[in-house]
Structure 1
Amino acid sequence: MTEFVLVPGLFTGPDAWRETAGKLTAEGARVQVVDLGPARDLEAHIARVVAAVDALVEGRDGAGRDVVLVGHDYGAYPAVGAADRRPERVARIVYLDAGLVQDGAAPLAAVPDQQVREHLADSGDTEGAVPAPARDAWQRWGSTSGLTDEALDRLTAHAVPQPHGTLLHPLRLTGAAADLPTTGVFCADNGATIDTVRMLLRFGDPAIKALTRPDVTFFELPTGHWPMLSCPERLADALLAAAAGEGTRLEPLAQDAEPTESGYLRPFLLDVPEVPRERHGAIDLYVPEDASDAGPRPAVVIVHGGPVPEDARPTPRDWPTLVGYARLAASRGAIGVTFDHRLHAVTAYPTAAEDVAAAVDRVRADPRVDADRIALWFFSGGGPLTAPWLSGAPEWLRCVAASYPIMAPLPNWGVDDPRFRPADVVAGGGTPPFVLIRVGQEASAVAATVARFVEAAETGGAPIEIVDVPDAPHAFEGLDHSDAAREAVGEAMDRVLAHLLRD
């Protein structure tokens, strides 16, 4: 008999788990839903989870380690803490739409609302409590995708404040549970997916490499951050499968396999001339051979996405996909530019925006560049960086382009900076031409940001040109070398250059 201990996340309690617990019980499992309730600190919550584990184990006959601990967002901290105290009684830890937790980390890092996180970090107040969100404020804590009006009413009605001390005190682990089997259940509409983890693995994140163990599995639910309310039976099915050791497993990358395993590091889908690279600090120029004889040329500045870990190698300006676009621009008469900026975390958009502006200034100062004919081309997580350029764009910015962009901070980022919401800008109109490469096989959370941007552009009458690649995935240039994908990239470049060359 499988035994589940379900640990609620921020502001929620046992009521939210009613249907999921009922389905698990109907399938023959024993279930304890922990009522965390008010507490002075994280250790008090851990003690309550330990008590639930002990109650299940001591209330049955026979030995064995059958308890599956499930922690939802913040609940992962007391769940992992309890596993560390009772490793002999835990069969598996399930992270439900939760990040990995480590010794010494405070749960404050799991708080998605950036304003609350910064306030608590600055104040250090361990005595108060974060008020439960109002009905219209849950989006600051996660995607409400999939929640009916009734479910949202219920979530609000049963919400409880979160004590400050439970967020500020660090988790202390002995390492006793480090080798326990684990499962991650992602809620795709909240922003995290299995492909996200694969990308981080390719960046060489040591914490992610540990997730390639054969006893680590993953599931993905097409819903928002509260699946126990939006799809309770589907969640129960995933938990039962996780308890049985099922799920997607990550394949470890061989030391010499990384350059061919990552889409952005695979060869570019088009055969482009080997235009030499000129390196100027953090900026690389790809200049047509006859540039010195033909006078100043327009420039296409490639802005990579992210977040990209600071120690990732090669750095983005050397990724074959981005170099491919720069050389493609050079082969058609423009100067292609790649460079590195400091989008190393979702909170680093202001820093990255400064880097982009500085790079553009340096490019425009080059005598071979026509400073009045510049295009900026953004990729993936660089999408929010388009907003400052769409707002009050200078006349010399002839075009903005974006490939499979994330056009707003994702729900699980906890970032709410109005400077980086492009949809708000284009809704007002008056923006430069925008060329969008939109892929059909996009993660649902990312596709939603693109849909909102396109709708806002159409409402505001902003000039947007869409090049669709229906069968292509995110970062398709190294993964999809079909005729349709090649034609889409060529068409998008033609559109950008047409805007650069107009009078």
Structure 2
Amino acid sequence: MTAFILVAGAHTGGWIWEEVAARLRESGASAYPVTLTGMGGPGRPADPGTDLETHVRDVLRVIDGTDATEIVLVGHCYGIHPVLGAADRRPERIARIVHLDAGMPGHGDRALTLVPDQAVRDRLSHRVDAEAEADSETDAEATADEATGGDDWLVPAPTAEEWQRWGSVAGLDAAALARLTENAVPQPAGTLTQPLRLTGAVSALPSTGVLCTGNGSSIAMVEGLVGLGDPRLQALTEPRVRFFELDAGHWPMLSHAGEVAGILLRAAAGEGHRVTGAGGEPPGHLRPFLLEVPERRRERTGRIDLHFPGDGPSGPPESEGPWPAVVFVHGGPVHPDARPTPRDWPGFVGYARSVAGLGAVGVTLDHRLHDLADYGRAAEDVAAAVELVRADPRVDADRVALWFFSAGGLLSADWLAAPPPWLRCVAATYPVLAPMPNWSQVGSRFRPAAAVPGAQGLPVVLTRVELERAEIAATVEAFLAAAKECDADVEVIDVPGGRHGFETTDRSEQARDAVERALRSVLGHLRA
């Protein structure tokens, strides 16, 4: 018999699984919705000492209390933390772990990163610092209480309006949202601040990721991130790992209970999509640029490369300049150990050489968007690179364009909100123009749709691919709607049949035409 142990996310309890559990039992399986300590169930109220370890023990009790021959642990959102902690201690009992719209926390990670409210995260960070300085569990609890104001050890439950900050509420009708709000309880702070402790035993267990596309996840996105070379994600290509997509928001157990139950049964049977490596083929971003462009003279300074107009890699310049410049800003996140780094990717080098062939300096750069929490420092890197470029005497400091790609599109917000007079154009190619609903680590500063009213007359050249991932296409359409409302100057260049990263994966005439049109448009704004 298969037993499904279902562990809910923050502020919720076993009640959230009622319909999914009923469907599983109808199929002949056992289902055990877990209400963790302090999360609304009778008999185990929370206290200031309630932490992640408390919740791990809760899950262990359920595991030890069943004699099922096959146990499938299901963790939703925060719930994956106690699930992994318990599975690591009972690996011989666990047949599979299911991450239901949940991340992949590792040893030492804290669920604090899931909290969408920056003020709450900052307050809880003080608790983390206090616990780190304490010498014993007793001292840690006392010190943490002092740091958080004595009895301020609970994170308030979200209001009906705040749930969307924890994840997409797509698919939830008014009754379901009301039920979610009415049953929510405060979350003990220690469950979010205590690091997950793993021995490594859990890493060998079969696992399934259920990606909710309405919340910004998809198999295509996972495959794209794996292709970028992040060593932390290579385990996702192992045969033991499978994936499903579900067209739902962050609470599919309330909006799509039947589909969730069906996917869990299929996951238990070992079904699902397998993400594989590229084999002998290079990943998409390392394939040749779709335009044949000659090599240009290149100079490397710090994190930037400047590609100059001229006759070749070592030939004389066409003139002494100064020339206008186009700065190409990559997306990500890109792991810091990934090689080559983005400024050497064929696509960006191809764009920079193309710009140099049109009489401008093409600039590629490496910025430190290594994780979703890094947008702030990535923005600093881009600003520093722009200043370095403008200070070069061979560059016309009053004629600069910024060109953003993929998730780097969020970095355009600062420049749209308050464009300096020397910024002649902003371009964006298959951009992400709003954080995905599950990108809680990204600050409110990086929302181009909210920033575009400040662009005023600044030209924006947006390249849109027809076969864009749905979760990204939605952000582009929201941006265009905001731009239309404020009458922003936006030119849209469509790529029929184009996909995300099309410049190195597509050789169609439509793709070449789109790149050439975008190049001409950006250079035209620089020359105006």
Which one-letter code corresponds to 2:94 in the other structure? V
Residue 69 of structure 1: how far off its partner (Å): 0.5
SS of the counterpart of 2:445? helix
* Aligned mate of 1:490, from 493, 500, 516: 516
- CA 1:86–1:375 in 2, change beyond 3 Å: closer, same or farther? same
Residue 428 of structure 1: how far off its partner (Å): 4.9
SS of the counterpart of 1:383? helix
1:326-475 map, 5 Å: 326-415=352-441, 417-428=443-454, 430-475=456-501
Match of 1:144 in 2: 169
Residue 112 of structure 1: how far off its partner (Å): 4.2
Contact 1:95 1:185 in 2 (8 A): yes
Query: Which runs of 4 or more aligned residues in structure 1 lie more than 6 Å from their structure 2 counterparts after TM superposition?
Result: none
Contact 2:77 2:102 in 1 (8 A): yes
User: Are residue 116 (structure 1) and residue 120 (structure 2) matched?
Assistant: yes
Contact 1:429 1:457 in 2 (8 A): no
Contact 1:189 1:223 in 2 (8 A): yes
User: Are residue 56 (structure 1) and residue 90 (structure 2) matched?
Assistant: no
- CA 1:199–1:113 in 2, change beyond 3 Å: closer, same or farther? farther
Match of 1:276 in 2: 297
Residue 316 of structure 1: how far off its partner (Å): 0.8
User: Are residue 240 (structure 1) and residue 265 (structure 2) matched?
Assistant: yes
Which one-letter code corresponds to 2:119 in the other structure? Q
Match of 1:217 in 2: 242
- CA 1:175–1:415 in 2, change beyond 3 Å: closer, same or farther? closer
Match of 1:77 in 2: 81
- CA 1:321–1:119 in 2, change beyond 3 Å: closer, same or farther? same
1:81-230 map, 5 Å: 81-124=85-128, 125=144, 128-230=153-255
Which one-letter code corresponds to 2:61 in the other structure? A
- CA 1:172–1:149 in 2, change beyond 3 Å: closer, same or farther? same
| Range with greater deviation from structure 2 (475-484 or 189-198) | 189-198
Residue 163 of structure 1: how far off its partner (Å): 0.6
The CA RMSD measured in Å over matched residues stands at 2.0
Match of 1:44 in 2: 54
In structure 2, list runs of 5 or more residues that go unmatched.
39-45, 129-143, 146-150, 312-316
Render the CA deviation track for 1:395-420: whole Å, top value 9, x for unaligned: 22111000111112222221353432
Residue 431 of structure 1: how far off its partner (Å): 4.4
Residue 220 of structure 1: how far off its partner (Å): 1.6
Contact 1:429 1:460 in 2 (8 A): no
Identity across matched positions, percent: 55
CA distance in 2, matches of 1:359, 1:195: 31
Contact 1:392 1:431 in 2 (8 A): no
CA distance in 2, matches of 1:462, 1:229: 40
Contact 1:390 1:431 in 2 (8 A): no
Render the CA deviation track for 1:322-344: whole Å, top value 9, x for unaligned: 11111111122222111112222
Contact 1:292 1:368 in 2 (8 A): no
Residue 292 of structure 1: how far off its partner (Å): 4.3
- CA 1:491–1:155 in 2, change beyond 3 Å: closer, same or farther? same
TM-score, scaled relative to structure 1: 0.92
CA distance in 1, matches of 2:527, 2:201: 64
Render the CA deviation track for 1:452-475: whole Å, top value 9, x for unaligned: 111110000110011112422211
Residue 102 of structure 1: how far off its partner (Å): 2.3
Render the CA deviation track for 1:256-289: whole Å, top value 9, x for unaligned: x4xx432211111111122232222322111111
Contact 2:425 2:525 in 1 (8 A): yes
Residue 296 of structure 1: how far off its partner (Å): 2.4
| Range with greater deviation from structure 2 (449-458 or 84-93) | 84-93
In structure 1, list runs of 5 or more residues that go unmatched.
none
Match of 2:16 in 1: 16
CA distance in 1, matches of 2:251, 2:194: 25
Contact 1:435 1:466 in 2 (8 A): yes
